[in-house]
């Protein structure tokens, strides 16, 4: 009996010391992290401080890391000096002339023109037998994938059955599976009260949690007809429509389906003006279209040692390289993901289970 009590006492002592060690270690890690953050925010390099603050401000669960160290007026200064200028220009659908042809294996040059293998045209990629090309894209701080879909009629916006609190969003994987799609990326924003959980994902939002709109089958599924949104839509003629407009205006332009997010990156062949660093380094998702109609879906990995993430300017650079005439930013962060032929072919930033969302961009099989 005494031996059992002695063993129990030894075990209790060991466990007690272990928990004390663990708590001490956690406290030391927190103190080190806070000191590191403090040194970053008070760094003599304004550019470094701004870049870090911008990255954290775009992360829904990490705003507090900025707000702890910087006064509100300093945060606003950083946001004002590092952005893409807000534009009222709307994309001109006449600039897109859809030409599918029979060149699904010919590849394209850097301006999006069909390549002639015998003509010496520089090839950046070739389409797979299904008319889809998947290209590795890399930069100094990021890696990701660009998917180019030759026939824009195959690209559409995926939605759950209904919207509103309690209706329930869907994961990208579920939307791909239930629609029989061959590929997909995440779409617009969604109300996320849990910051990292997104248990519902059933209330669409725009950038910075602005009001959301979803158009499906030429009808407003969620949102208001007379409210102005940053529309990212697809017309009945399979042309990407980008710009600020009301839901009624979008329907008047022949938009068959749409969501809202932003900012716009390229409109009518011109890159939107970037001020400062434009944004922080984060996982990104975006959509664009070439003059020949091919749709471009881009996902950048981020918040990883091998890929910190991309800025909006990085996205513009990639889209311009591959010939986009219009392009816009979609929801990013933990939601950023690309699926192709049943596999997740990018590396999501989240360690949590896949997030339920309000919209996605899908490609018909």
pLDDT digits (tens, 9 = 90+) for 337-354: 999 999 999 999 876 578
Pairwise pLDDT comparison (37 vs 277), residue with the higher score: 277
Residue carrying structure tokens 């590191």: 36
Q: Secondary structure of 18-45 in the HEC alphabet? A: HHHHHHHHHHHHHHHHHHHHHHHHCCCC
At 73, is the pLDDT very low, low, confident or very high (cuts 50, 70, 90)? Answer: confident
Q: Is the pLDDT of residue 148 over 70?
A: yes
Q: Is the pLDDT of residue 70 over 80?
A: no
Percent of the chain having pLDDT more than 90?
A: 56
At 102, is the pLDDT very low, low, confident or very high (cuts 50, 70, 90)? Answer: very low
The predicted-structure confidence for 300-317, as pLDDT tens digits, reads as follows 999 899 999 999 999 999
Q: In this predicted structure, what is the pLDDT of residue 105?
A: 39
pLDDT (average), residues 178-192: 94
Q: In this predicted structure, what is the pLDDT of residue 167?
A: 77
Q: In this predicted structure, what is the pLDDT of residue 111?
A: 47
Q: Is the pLDDT of residue 191 over 90?
A: no
DSSP-assigned states of every residue in 82-110: SEEPP------GGG-----TT-TTT-B-T
Sheet strands (E) in 261-332? 264-267, 270-271, 274-275, 284-290, 295-300, 324-329
Highest mean pLDDT, choosing among 23-27, 110-114, 217-221: 217-221
Percent of the chain having pLDDT more than 70?
A: 68
At 181, is the pLDDT very low, low, confident or very high (cuts 50, 70, 90)? Answer: very high
At 201, is the pLDDT very low, low, confident or very high (cuts 50, 70, 90)? Answer: confident
The predicted-structure confidence for 211-264, as pLDDT tens digits, reads as follows 999 999 999 999 999 999 999 999 999 999 999 999 999 999 999 999 999 999
Residues near 259 by Cβ (< 8 Å), separated by ≥ 6? Answer: 157, 187, 188, 204, 212, 213, 214, 215, 232, 233, 358, 359
């Amino acid at each position: 009996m005494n031996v059992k009590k002695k063993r129990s006492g030894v075990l209790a002592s060991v466990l007690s010391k272990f928990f004390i060690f663990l708590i001490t270690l956690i406290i030391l890690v927190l103190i080190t992290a806070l000191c590191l953050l403090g040194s970053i925010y008070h760094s003599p390099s304004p550019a470094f401080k701004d870049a870090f603050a911008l990255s954290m401000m775009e992360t829904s669960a990490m705003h507090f890391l900025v707000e702890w160290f910087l006064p509100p007026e300093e945060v606003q200064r950083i946001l004002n000096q590092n952005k893409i200028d807000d534009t009222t220009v709307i994309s001109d659908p006449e600039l897109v002339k859809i030409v599918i042809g029979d060149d699904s294996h010919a590849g394209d040059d850097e301006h999006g023109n069909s390549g002639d293998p015998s003509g010496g045209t520089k090839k950046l990629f070739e389409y797979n037998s299904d008319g889809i090309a998947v290209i590795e894209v890399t930069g100094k701080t990021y890696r990701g994938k660009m998917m180019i879909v030759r026939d824009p009629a195959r690209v559409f916006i995926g939605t759950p059955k209904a919207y509103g609190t309690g209706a329930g969003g869907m994961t990208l994987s579920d939307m791909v599976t239930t629609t029989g799609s061959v590929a997909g990326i995440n779409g617009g924003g969604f109300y996320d009260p849990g910051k990292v959980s997104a248990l519902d994902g059933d209330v669409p939002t725009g950038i910075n949690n602005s009001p959301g709109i979803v158009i499906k089958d030429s009808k407003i599924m969620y949102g208001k007809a007379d409210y102005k949104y940053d529309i990212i839509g697809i017309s009945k003629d399979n042309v990407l429509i980008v710009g600020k407009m009301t839901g009624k205006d979008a329907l008047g332009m022949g938009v068959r389906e749409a969501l809202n997010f932003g900012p716009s990156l390229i409109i009518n062949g011109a890159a939107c003006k970037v001020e400062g660093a434009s944004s922080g380094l984060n996982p990104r998702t975006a959509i664009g279209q070439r003059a020949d109609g091919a749709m471009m879906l881009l996902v950048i990995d981020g918040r990883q040692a091998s890929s910190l993430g991309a800025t909006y300017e990085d996205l513009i650079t990639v889209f311009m390289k591959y010939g986009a005439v219009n392009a816009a930013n979609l929801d990013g962060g933990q939601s950023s993901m690309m699926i192709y032929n049943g596999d997740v072919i990018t590396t999501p930033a989240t360690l949590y289970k896949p997030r339920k969302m309000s919209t996605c961009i899908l490609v018909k099989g």
